[in-house]
Amino acid sequence: MLHRKYFMLSSPPEVFIFSRNATKFIFLLLALMAACMDCMPTTSPGYAIVVDAGSSGTRCWVYKLTPVAGNKLPKIEIVNKEKYKGGMAKQITEIKASLEKIVKFAKTHVPADQHAKTPIYFMATAGMRYLAENSATSVFDSIDHFLSDPAKCPFQHETPARILSGQEEGTFAWLSVNYLKGVLDDETLKDPTSKTFGVLEMGGASVQITFVPRSQILDNVFQFKFHRNKFHIYSHSYLNYGQETVREILDNSTLSRNNRHLSSNYVLNPCQIKDDTRAASESLNTSLLGTGHFEECVDMIRDMFVIPNKNCAPGPCTINNIYQPSIPRNQTFFAIGVIYKVLRDLGIDTSKPVKPSVIKYEATRFCSQNIPSLTDFQKLACPIGIYLYVLLVDVFKFAEDSEQIITIEEINGKTIGDFMLNVLS
């Protein structure tokens, strides 16, 4: 019978491989192992399998777990990984066939004498969140039924398949960054507010912010113990405010304004590189013509948000009346995922702290010139760069001249890339 258990993180393992996807799953794996301590190896190496279902693809990771003397958690190494195209949310009728491929792959990389001892975990993000409740229940019941059948899957499946919340994803990103920076196991840690690092992450469908505030957390709090340190972190995920969803919202807003260029079929788009053209939609005989007008685009982006009510509770509140404690001015934030790529494409020096005022200047410059050699993804730096500026200043309340934000692709030489929705899509 599948049932849920709760967990507490203990001392950190020695982690050998941090690929752009693996870092998140290492912490996910630690959490799941802590929920099932009898699954962990004690004297000889063991294995674990993590399956993630993203919006356009599914990944399977096979890990080797080697016991470490004097440590409650093992050393973790990646044995192999595989990606399967097509999101399960869009291929519900083919779930059985997808699971058969995954199990076949895992059986190849886990020794036969370890099959019955090896746990398999199934987690979903991104596209799975858009399934209707009844559909989601049916999908996960089917997955659990398949993985729990010894005739179809020789591995242990005791933790139910489920969807990770955006808040959980933000928390795993925070754990990964602070672990790699050596903060979580710092026995001399006195002030988590100034010593830990906040995390801003943007994916295709959402934006996450996670940090340790100075004040008491009244909502969206995660509490856990890692080694000898206790942490209370705030984490919130803004679903539908990621790169792809924001561009779609801005396109629709542009079309609704119907500000056409003379008598042509072009609709003027201030959130698009000047003189750049592209189709608005396959179903519409309309194209967008960029004007690259920073201030007009800022106004459109601000229209996406609901200004917080002064009497919202609990407070303070940010957009859409979402509670968010004030960000400590002495806390550094790592901006990861799409954010790094956008700032890089804007031409911003990512080797030093990035001020919002610099993002404003560079986005204004970038959007006002048409560079034919840019790829479609690079062109996204125009609308998303402006959006990022509004997000930092209006939503998260960073000062224009703040030097708290560092954007990274690697930390301590280990690639972290897209941790959440976009990395799995």
Q: Where are the domain boundaries for CATH 3.30.420.40 in the chain?
A: 22-164
Which of 421, 415, 359 lies closest to 389 in space, CA to CA?
Answer: 359
| Residue 36 reports pLDDT greater than 60 | no
Binning pLDDT at 50, 70 and 90, where does residue 168 land? confident
Higher pLDDT, 11 or 396: 396
Is 136 a known ligand-binding residue?
Answer: no
Token pair for residue 98? 């997808």
Q: Residue 237, Cβ neighbours under 10 Å: how many? A: 25
pLDDT > 90: percent of the chain: 34
DSSP string, 47-73: EEEEEEE-SSEEEEEEEEEE--TT-SS
Residues with a known catalytic role:
169
Higher pLDDT, 31 or 320: 320
Is 205 a known ligand-binding residue?
Answer: yes
Residue 332: the pLDDT is 94
Residue 22: the pLDDT is 44
What's the count of helices (H) and strands (E) in the chain, helices before strands?
12, 16
Token pair for residue 208? 């996450």
Mean pLDDT of 21-26: 50
Residue 39: the pLDDT is 52
Residue 154: the pLDDT is 97
| Residue 135 reports pLDDT greater than 60 | yes
Cα–Cα distance, 69 to 134 (Å, whole number) = 46
| Residue 206 reports pLDDT greater than 60 | yes
Cα–Cα distance, 29 to 18 (Å, whole number) = 13
Residue 386: the pLDDT is 98
Cα–Cα distance, 352 to 354 (Å, whole number) = 6
Cα–Cα distance, 316 to 308 (Å, whole number) = 9
| Residue 414 reports pLDDT greater than 50 | no
267-298: pLDDT as tens digits: 999 999 999 999 876 556 788 999 999 999 99
| Residue 226 reports pLDDT greater than 80 | no
Binning pLDDT at 50, 70 and 90, where does residue 333 land? very high
CA dist list (Å): 11 to 185, 186, 202, 309: 7, 11, 29, 43
Higher pLDDT, 18 or 250: 250
Residue 55: the pLDDT is 56
Binning pLDDT at 50, 70 and 90, where does residue 317 land? confident
**Contact between 350 and 344 (Cβ < 8 Å):** yes
| Residue 27 reports pLDDT greater than 70 | no
Binning pLDDT at 50, 70 and 90, where does residue 28 land? low
Residue 258: the pLDDT is 76
Is 204 a known ligand-binding residue?
Answer: yes
Highest-confidence segment of 7-21, 52-66, 137-151, 163-177: 137-151
Q: Where are the domain boundaries for CATH 3.30.420.150 in the chain?
A: 168-242+301-424
Highest-confidence segment of 93-102, 139-148, 223-232: 139-148
Residue 402: the pLDDT is 96
Task: Return the CATH class of domain 168-242+301-424.
Answer: alpha beta
Binning pLDDT at 50, 70 and 90, where does residue 411 land? low
Residue 51: the pLDDT is 87
Cα–Cα distance, 425 to 318 (Å, whole number) = 28
Residue 195: the pLDDT is 84
Cα–Cα distance, 363 to 218 (Å, whole number) = 36
Listed in order, strand segments (DSSP E) in 212-276 are 221-226, 229-239, 266-269
Helix or strand (DSSP H, E) at 208: strand 206-211
Q: Which residue matches tokens 């801005």?
A: 250
Give the lowest-confidence range in 20-29, 93-102, 181-190, 390-399. Answer: 20-29
50-74: pLDDT as tens digits: 887 765 568 888 888 787 665 555 5
Is 363 a known ligand-binding residue?
Answer: no
Q: Residue 95, Cβ neighbours under 10 Å: how many? A: 19
Give Rg (Cα) of the chain: 23
Q: Average pLDDT over the chain, rounded to whole?
A: 78
Residues 6+ apart with CB under 8 A from 224: 8, 9, 230, 231
pLDDT > 70: percent of the chain: 74
Mean pLDDT of 371-382: 91
Residue 316: the pLDDT is 85
| Residue 415 reports pLDDT greater than 50 | no
Q: Name the strands in the sheet holding 229-239, side by side, starting at the edge strand that comes first in the sequence.
A: 221-226, 229-239, 206-211, 198-202, 333-337, 405-407
**Contact between 273 and 379 (Cβ < 8 Å):** yes
**CATH number listed for the domain at residues 22-164:** 3.30.420.40
Residue 6: the pLDDT is 31
Mean pLDDT of 365-381: 92
Residue 133: the pLDDT is 65
Higher pLDDT, 342 or 125: 342
Q: Which residue matches tokens 């674990």?
A: 48
